[in-house]
Amino acid sequence: MMNRCFFFLIALLAASCSNHNALKDHVRSQLEFSRGRVDALLEDIEKTGRADTVLQWRAGAGRAPIGWQLMHIAASEDGMASGMIGKEPVTSAAFSTEFRSFKELPQTIPPFAEVRRYLTESRTALLRAVDRFDSPLEQKPTPDARFDYGTAFKIIQWHEPHHHGQAHATFNLYKGGGE
């Protein structure tokens, strides 16, 4: 129920924004809030003294490790900034390919410091792309794109909390004896 209300409010806000500045402010605010939750998770992982091991941990065979969830957030933002809503340079061509959707899960996750760095750099690129955005929301970036810019902004705001929740739940399983 809460997800439906959240999406309705986001859709209503996006539809009611007569100028891009209000939308950009809202997107930035939501991204800052969501990243605060991811940063808190990263701090908790770091406090274990086994951050690299924790990032590799998965709840079972074929399940994504904690670190994949975090790298996927960064890779998706990298793709949004460099292709979907902006023309920023790709922050990491290797990571943006390795951790994108619908790809086989990697066997290893980069070290903790590299995960944190990629999250920071891809977010910086995404915020630059948001700031520079000036196309009509109902327009598609390309004629064959799956969705328009307005939908892209909704996905951007939803994506990080979605994968943060998965990473957080997996971390709780790890702490509960999953080692």
Residue 124 falls inside a structural domain: yes
Give which of 85, 81, 87, 101 is closest to 150, Cα–Cα: 85
pTM: 0.87
Kindly report the CATH number assigned to the domain that includes residue 32. 1.20.120
Tell whether 12 is covered by a domain: no
Could you list the residue range(s) of the whole structural domain that residue 128 is in?
A: 22-178
Summarize pLDDT for 82-124 with one digit per residue, the tens: 988 999 999 999 999 999 887 888 889 999 999 999 999 999 9
Total structural domains within the chain? 1
Amino acid at 7: F
As a whole number of angstroms, the distance between CA 174 and CA 167 comes to 10
**Is residue 65 classed as helix, strand or coil in its secondary structure?**
coil
Q: State the Cα–Cα distance between residues 51 and 122, nearest whole angstrom.
A: 21
Q: Is residue 14 part of a domain?
A: no
Residue 123 included in any domain? yes
Q: Is 5 among the domain residues?
A: no
- Indicate whether 155 belongs to any domain: yes
Q: What is the pLDDT of residues 131-177, one digit of tens each?
A: 999 999 999 998 999 999 999 999 999 999 999 999 999 999 999 98
Asked whether residue 7 is assigned to any structural domain, the reply reads: no
> Which residues fall within 8 angstroms of residue 64, CB to CB, at 6 or more apart?
58, 72, 105, 166, 170
User: Does any domain span residue 8?
Assistant: no
Query: pLDDT tens digit string along 27-86?
Result: 999 999 999 999 999 999 999 999 999 999 999 998 999 999 999 999 999 999 998 899
